[in-house]
A and B are shown apart, each in its own frame.
Chain A
Amino acid sequence: NAGVTQTPKFQVLKTGQSMTLQCAQDMNHNSMYWYRQDPGMGLRLIYYSASEGTTDKGEVPNGYNVSRLNKREFSLRLESAAPSQTSVYFCASSEWVTSGSEVYEQYFGPGTRLTVT
């Protein structure tokens, strides 16, 4: 049981290049998320997928696209990378759990450190 896995772990792009960040989870969770983490800004939601076949914009979706390939996999694509997209990207998955009352918990991958020059 690997949890949430992300590839690649590090990436350097030139401005204008494109790339896809991959994420997979083996916990059979319905919901998956992409966040970016920047110093002083905390974790900000880019896109999410509440279930297979659906995706929705989060707080900072501009410049990104996503694909929920199946229940396990959720990819994030940068079509034309910009220096402002230099960040650490985290994928997460979640499920409602019941422990007395229903709560919502997220599990994160190890992150992708992206630099755009």
Chain B
Amino acid sequence: TQLLEQSPQFLSIQEGENLTVYCNSSSVFSSLQWYRQEPGEGPVLLVTVVTGGEVKKLKRLTFQFGDARKDSSLHITAAQPGDTGLYLCAGEIFMYSGGGADGLTFGKGTHLIIQP
């Protein structure tokens, strides 16, 4: 079961343009995280949003958590080639054993290409 749906799946734009990618779910999450993964590397944590309606900025990246804590968005202003990568959102779940241990479920990601 894919709890987190990311859109678009692929996005290719020119340097300098703005873009928004989305992470949606029918489930409520206590927090959502965004990771960026470059080719040949592991995902790297960018930000965690916790409070419904929260907005966090990381230079040209703006992250928003929906009021109902079911969705999140990532907006990039004046995209640069260095922003190219796979953007993953992740939310906390309780583990498959039902034991209540911690864990994350990941969306399938948005593949972003910024062309010079």
Tell me, yes or no, whether A16 is within 8 Å of chain B by CB: no
Chain B interface SS verdict (over half) = loop
Check if B96 sits within 8 Å of A103, measured CB to CB.
no
A-contacting residues, B23-57, CB 8 Å: 30-31, 33, 35, 40-45, 48, 50-51
Q: How many of chain B's residues have a CB under 8 angstroms from any CB in A?
A: 29
A-contacting residues, B1-27, CB 8 Å: 2
Tell me, yes or no, whether B68 is within 8 Å of chain A by CB: no
Return the CB mask of A92-110 against B: 1 if under 8 Å, else 0. 1010100111011111111
B residues less than 8 Å from A105 (CB atoms):
33, 45, 48
A96 to B104, CA, bound (A): 12
B66 CB to closest chain A CB, in angstroms?
17
